[in-house]
A and B are shown apart, each in its own frame.
Chain A
Amino acid sequence: MNNYPAILIIAPLLGAFFAGLAAWIQERLSYPLALISLALSTFASVNVLMEVIANGTVHYRMAGWAPPMGIEYRIDLLNAMVLVLVSSIAFLNLLASYQNVEQETHDRAASFYVAYLLFVVGLLGVVATGDLFNLYVLIEITSLTSYTLVALGDRDRAPLASLNYLFIGVIGASFYLLGVGYIYIITGSLNMVDVAGILPNLPGSSTVLVGFILCLLGVWIKMALFPLHVWLPNGYTYAPTAFSRVVAPLMTKVMVYVMIRLMITVFGLEYIFVTLHLSEAVVWLGTIAIVFGGIMALAQKNLKKMLSYIIVCEIGYMVGGAWLGNELGMTGAILHIVNDALMTFALFLALGNIVYKIKDVDYSNLSGLFGKMPWTMAGFVLAAFSIIGVPPTCGFFSKWYLILGAFEAGAYHFAAALLISSLICAVLFFKVFEICFFAPEGNGLSHDNSHGHGDPVIVMDEAPVASLVTLGIVSLALILVGVYSGTIVNTIILPFLR
């Protein structure tokens, strides 16, 4: 019996507390400790993925008790893939963000790392667990650390944004908890597989319906689906860079994973698509989220806020795709979890590099960036192409599956929204490129050209090397995942769905 599923979670957890203790002795020790523990976690998650591909689903009994009594980690192909994604992105981000953390939270960097590790522990646990209540506790760890870390950002606005996030987040988590209560009272169990075995014996129960919708509402609030998204743009915009880099790609995607897990493993697709008649409405909701997110992104004048609205838009893709009710749509949604996490990570990495050099990322400050930070901007352009959906990059392939699924389900409005959003993203990013590339520095009216010499020579001033290397790795991954998306679909997603 190997212990990788436990090490996956325990390594960063132990790392967090050792980093916290080490900070009292020597503050500089906590960063390497954090890095080592995340590397260990990534290693364990890759091993788990290998094992799952080779031998099928891995079960790990916490405290050695058999599943319905104790808590079980049940890792199948979907979890294993998302686990690798989460742990590797968290590790790469920590590698890239050393300077950003020093810059933004200089006197409490050690505590920042501890909170960061706990955040990652929460995300990994949410993905790995097979127990409904354990999921709630882990969601709360993730949320509590993200409230804290968001509040560390912008001195003026971040605490308020974080408090709003907290209120809405608590409502979401409580709805989820209540939904679990409804399921528990009618089934008497908390283990996902066990519940899934009992639910078909209770046809037409209003309690199951209410429990399902409450769980779904809670998860939607946490993932910021359109009418419930109000906390996201402010929260992510004012968060410190090192944290927004990890929360933007992972938090919403992990919640999408939770939704898919609830749909497939707990309630079963048959119950959702045959018994309930919600899928039409939810696909419409996804459509509206896409269009709304795109339009709001167009209206922004701040790069970071614009990217936050793109996240709202992308959530529409995944929710709509998962609720199309056919295999293609679900495949697209799951593939998009991976792709969107990578694309958003690349975008926010580039953004973090820009923020490191220029504090304020209003559009008016961005001119001349291509000359100043060519490598960062190269990564940014690649990620932007991926978001738009230009073929060699991975964004194209998941969109392709989603559109095929939409046509198969007859949801033409969803397909149209996907295409429109590509168009909007194209307009959006080319606007940014234009500002960054063509407008020469110091010509805008907002600039008070105080340094006197207005010569057009732009000095190259790049971000730290670690950040650039990470951005390079992720950009490569964008293309590789795009090229090998067929392999991913055939070895992981389709076997999981069947």
Chain B
Amino acid sequence: MKLLGFIIVCLTGTFLLYGTSDLPDWGDPNSPASLHLSNHYIEKAVAETEVPNLVTAVLADYRGFDTMFETAVVFTAGLACFLLLRDFKPKEDRYYRHVPTGVVLHFKDKARQLRVGTEFEAVDKDWVPSDMVIKTVCRILIPFIQIYALYVVAHGDFSPGGGFQGGVIFGSSFILLAISYNLKTLMKRVSEKFLGIFSAVGVLIYVGIGAIAMVMGGNFLDYSTLAPLLPVNPGHIRALGMLGVEIGVGIAVMAVMAIIYINIVSQGRHDEGL
């Protein structure tokens, strides 16, 4: 297998190298790729959409249809993790810790249960005492991460960033909560239902804006037809439409990142994990 792999790799590599012989030089301003479509985008996009970040303008407007499916791909990944890993059977082994003494009790019998309260708390199998420094720092950090994520989503029109990046950052704030405390703390704050609904709602916002444009008499995703609905300057309507879809993307991505992490780390049981 190693030899076969090596031969295949060498053949493919040579073939690709042959293809590069005819490519325009790296950084050549006159290569066809930099002339045909790109010039139109660079010169006209601001006038047509009022969005200075060209990447956002092309991503969410000219090629907004691609981005809609990209969001659908993300949703599919979350759905896949749910479908493949989710395990609704509760675990047979349960661990409880007696808070005043620190003794950990291990229950193998399914029928026996302890009431979780001030005296006992349910803990993971590999329980380690929580670290005060980490907990405190993360508790302070998480709101700032979330604010930053919102900034990235909202400011995607003017600076690098957008729905996807903001959504990932927002999702990672959930993951940070799960890592610094434990998975149960996260699941108490954001339930599975919440994440499931948000992942679908995010994409629905995107598709919905497109569909509304269609109902208003334009083509699918044509934001300019939304102008009668919103009390803004008609020239700015495309930028606003883009903001709308970016928010949708952000919501979907946030939820899906959390779903993937939770399912992988707890092997679908949603009880304990990293």
Contact = CB atoms under 8 A, between A and B. Distances in A.
A260 interface: no
Interface in B150-206: 193, 196-197, 199-201, 203-204
A338 interface: no
A10 B213 CA distance: 13
B77 A144 contact: yes
Contact of A207 (B22, B40, B64, B76): B22
B76 A186 contact: no
Interface string B9-53: 000000110111111100000011111111011000000000000
A10 B32 contact: no
A134 B66 contact: yes
B6 interface: no
Contacts of B32: 185-188, 198
Contacts, number: 167
B145 interface: no
Given A64-B222, A187-B32, A107 B200 contact: no
Given A3-B220, A152-B84, A211-B19, A17 B36 contact: no
B79 A71 contact: no
A64 B219 contact: yes
A185 B220 contact: no
B125 interface: no
Nearest to A118: B76
B66 A137 contact: yes
Nearest to B80: A148
A6 B193 CA distance: 31
Contacts of B72: 13, 118, 121, 141
B66 A141 contact: no
A76 to B, nearest CB: 19
Nearest to B19: A210
A176 interface: no
B83 interface: yes
Interface string B210-249: 1100100011111110000000000000000000000000
Interface residues of A, number: 60
A185 B23 contact: yes
A64 B227 CA distance: 15
A484 interface: no
Nearest to B238: A63
A3 B219 CA distance: 7
A440 to B, nearest CB: 42
Nearest to A204: B22
A210 B18 CA distance: 8
Interface of B: 15-16, 18-24, 31-38, 40-41, 61-66, 69-70, 72-73, 75-77, 79-80, 82-84, 86, 88, 193, 196-197, 199-201, 203-204, 207, 210-211, 214, 218-224
25 contacts: A10-B214, A10-B220, A13-B207, A21-B197, A21-B201, A24-B193, A62-B221, A63-B220, A63-B222, A63-B223, A71-B65, A111-B79, A112-B83, A115-B83, A137-B69, A138-B69, A141-B73, A144-B73, A144-B80, A145-B76, A148-B80, A186-B33, A188-B32, A188-B38, A189-B36
Interface of A: 1, 3, 6, 10, 13-14, 17-18, 20-21, 24, 60-65, 68-71, 107-108, 111-112, 114-115, 118, 121, 125, 133-134, 137-138, 140-141, 144-145, 147-148, 151-152, 159, 178, 182, 184-190, 198, 205-207, 209-211, 213
Given A68-B37, A69-B41, 12 more contacts: A1-B219, A3-B214, A6-B219, A6-B220, A18-B204, A20-B200, A63-B219, A65-B62, A108-B86, A148-B76, A185-B23, A185-B32
Q: Which 8 A-B pairs give the minimum distances between C-beta atoms?
A: A210-B19, A188-B36, A64-B222, A148-B80, A188-B32, A6-B220, A62-B65, A63-B221
